[in-house]
A = this chain, B = another copy of it.
Amino acid sequence: MPNYALGLDYGTNSCRSLIIDLENGRELGSTVFPYPSGDHGILTDPNDPNVARQNPQDYLDGCVSIIRGAIVQAHAVDTAFRVEDIVGIGIDTTGSTVIPVDSDGVPVVFQDAFKDNINAHVWLWKDHTSYREAEQITNLAKEVRPEYLAKCGGVYSSEWWWAKILHIRNVDAGVYDAAYSFVEHCDWLPAVLAGNTNPLTLTRSVCSAGHKAMYNAAWGGLPDEEFLGRLDPALPDLRRRLYETADASDTAAGTLSAEWAGKLGLPEGITIAVGAFDCHMGAVGAGVKKGTLVKVLGTSTCDITVADSDVADVPGLCGQVLSSVVPGQVGVEAGQSAVGDLFLWLVHHLVPEGYGADVSEKFAAMEEEMKCQLPGASGLLALDWNNGNRTVLTDVRLSGLMLGQTLHTQAHEIYRAYIEATAYGALTIINRMEEHGIRVDEVVTTGGLSLKNATMMQIYADVLGRPMKVSRSEQTCAMGAAIFGAVASGYASLTKLQKVVVEYTETIYQPDPSNQSVYAQLYELYKTLHDAFGKTGWSGSLDHVMKDLIAIRENQRTS
């Protein structure tokens, strides 16, 4: 008898569902719900580009829509499908996406008095209004709790939990006081479905706690009261209204309540797994394991792998949290601030219509042009920092750099240089991991870019010197969530389910040895620029850079 699992993936602008057959990974149904509020689901402030909020009602409405939609599809695809055979539900969301809630776990914004207050809404991960508070937290931790920073790359971000809460406290006492507690989106939704949103007892995810709230069992959970008190006298008291422990997603957050079973058209009692962040579950859905790095390639990237629980702290990575990806192993997270965004910026602003009438024609024509070019033949070298550098420099105050232009340089050569730059950035992350004992034997990519752009994938293989696989599923996050739903229900182990369910496209991109050796030379030059412009206190010599690039160019053009 077949069994199924249901994964829910809450992204930045929409949420989507996926029903999979646990015997073979077949995808039976998947629907999308674009959040209706604000601008593509995001509430903004015309006077402050840092503001990004959401309406929690969108999450609830979306939940009903995408689950009911997927069920209809599954029945249509397979008449044998029965909702009674769904063993578990897993949920991933963006984060740190913080909801101010009352003592029942109901969002403060659902109260009439706060329904028009943007600060009472959900604070979406990409809200950057809390940058001053993030700096305050970084500075204090550097001084008195360096161990907190060692787990999150050395810099606390304005995108994260404590910075947001502290900012609410600083700018809107009304909301802060009305909030009995705060809950991550990825913890709130499982709690809602399980029918227990009490902030003191709902299950908290170790993924969000560890990566965003400086939670670590080794130091007793959340940051201690003394530390929090030095940030703000109100925080120690809040700490008592948060949580002592956090769990991995192989744990059940509860079972589907009668109320929500009715809304969703599902039987009561289905296991709800503890939630986690989208990329972390996406990595599982793409087959992450020791030695495999999963790169979720989108506008930016999220790079995830896992390591033994005794792995050392790696400087410059975004986070290292036990059980945040695979239970019992350390989830290791890194990221590149701009990949797809970089290519889109180029094609929107600097590619003439000679390449095509629209964005996709231009990309296609440029990829066609660059096929015949050898590595280094353009003489160009770029840094991929147009949106700062997330890993390993963790510095937003960096910018782009392009070097080697002549009076003949063309747009498709610049495009290729940016692809290469993002590959060099990826290699820098991998090298940093390996220097600290985290092996990377192969790289798996997920996301539309990796399915669409074979030229890019081959360049990545040549630069990284490792085979590159592509996830067959375009819903790896929801896939990972579904896997955790099944694991939390006790249906099977994570390892076994990954083996059964995870598939790759046929093409595995293998490094070409001769391209690899040219890229090794180019990477040395990239690393020189990377360190020269990005590493505090660097000093050295750059007079060789342009000459080396010209020599490589001349060599490649005549070869």
Contact = CB atoms under 8 A, between A and B. Distances in A.
Interface string A397-413: 11111111111111100
Given A399-B405, A400-B406, A537 B546 contact: no
A364 interface: no
A538 to B, nearest CB: 6
Nearest to A413: B349
A23 interface: no
Interface residues of A, number: 46
A379 B535 CA distance: 20
Interface string A510-543: 0000000000000000000000111111111111
Contact of A349 (B409, B538, B540): B409
B537 A539 contact: no
A408 B397 CA distance: 15
A258 interface: no
A196 B195 CA distance: 108
A341 to B, nearest CB: 5
A402 B401 contact: yes
A73 to B, nearest CB: 36
A386 interface: yes
Nearest to A337: B407
A549 interface: yes
Interface in A315-359: 338, 341-342, 345, 349-353
Contacts of A401: 401-405
Contacts of A400: 402-406, 409
A414 B351 CA distance: 13
A545 interface: yes
A421 to B, nearest CB: 11
Contacts of A405: 386, 399-402
A542 B538 contact: yes
Contacts of A534: 543
A550 interface: yes
Interface in A361-413: 379, 385-387, 397-411
A82 interface: no
A436 interface: no
A514 B385 CA distance: 30
A547 interface: yes
Given A353-B353, A399-B379, A407 B345 contact: yes
Given A350-B350, A406-B386, A541 B546 contact: no
A543 to B, nearest CB: 5
A543 B537 contact: yes
Contact of A532 (B351, B535, B542, B547): B542
A532 B398 CA distance: 18
Contacts of A351: 350, 352
A162 to B, nearest CB: 25
Given A350-B352, A352-B351, A537-B543, A403 B399 contact: yes
Contacts of A408: 345
A32 to B, nearest CB: 25
Contacts of A379: 399
A499 B540 CA distance: 53
Contact of A542 (B353, B533, B546): B533
A379 B543 CA distance: 24
A399 B543 contact: no
Given A352-B353, A541-B538, A543-B534, A399 B410 contact: no
Nearest to A550: B397
Contacts of A535: 543
B399 A550 contact: yes
A542 B322 CA distance: 37
B399 A549 contact: yes
Given A353-B353, A533-B542, A550-B397, A341 B386 contact: no
Contacts of A543: 532-538
Interface of A: 338, 341-342, 345, 349-353, 379, 385-387, 397-411, 414, 532-543, 545-547, 549-550
5 closest A-B pairs by beta carbon, nearest first, are A400-B405, A353-B353, A345-B407, A399-B404, A401-B403
15 contacts: A338-B407, A341-B407, A386-B405, A386-B406, A386-B407, A387-B406, A397-B550, A398-B546, A399-B404, A400-B405, A400-B406, A400-B409, A538-B541, A538-B542, A538-B543
